Structure 1
Amino acid sequence: MEGLRLDGDMIISKTLSRTDVDKHGRLHLPKSQVLSVLRKMTYATEERLLNGIELEVLDIMKNHSYSVILKSRNPSKDYVLGTGWSALKYSLELKEGDNLKLYWDHLNCKFIILNCEYSLIPF
């Protein structure tokens, strides 16, 4: 992995709260970080975000991918991962207090999980 450089503006980092891991099935994302990533998503219009955009999340350590829905919630313009988040959360055994890092690979139009156990990846 020598020479690998990740654009820090494409990383969404979140310490999971109780509401992120409870039964509601959605992950609230930091707005400023999502807005930074959205600049590289040319197809992410306001209308499409209100309806939800299906995205792939890749776990490179397990070579497994998940399908999740990224949505903005009107009128607050908060951003969440909705449908698909629960499957990802349970598969990764995420709990309150865990830090989740997602890297937007704009060339392949998918998120890559950069979780704490993947600290060998420089960023």
Structure 2
Amino acid sequence: MKRILVVDDQQDIRELVRMTLEIDGHEVHEADNGQAALKLAGQLGPDLMLLDVMMPGGIDGLEVCRRIKQQASAGTPAHMKVVMLSALGMKADQRNGLAAGADGYLTKPFSPRELLAVVARMV
């Protein structure tokens, strides 16, 4: 069982992801904005963060990813993987996610099977 933090401002997306991952036996935590994501990542030390790119509140997913990867030595586990979950599916968007430090990129909409395959590769 892996600890996974799901970060998305849309509750229905978080619910779908949580239910899919819990059925697969994972421990799932949720955040609805970038600030909460950073706080929970430091507290929980998840194995994987599934992170939306576009979120309200001043800190988008790309910035969360940058901070997580920069803070790996300051309390956030270095082993934590980050997968961007985004409706932004252009190659440039994917490059931006990877440039921010993401370990993977999954474009919305995605199927539960796609999600489970990405999670299996990451953890």
| Greater relative contact order structure (CA < 8 Å, 6+ sep) | 1
Whether the TM-score (by the shorter chain) exceeds 0.5 is no
Which has the larger strand fraction? 1
TM-score (norm 1): 0.27
TM-score (norm 2): 0.27
Which has the larger helix fraction? 2
Larger radius of gyration: 1
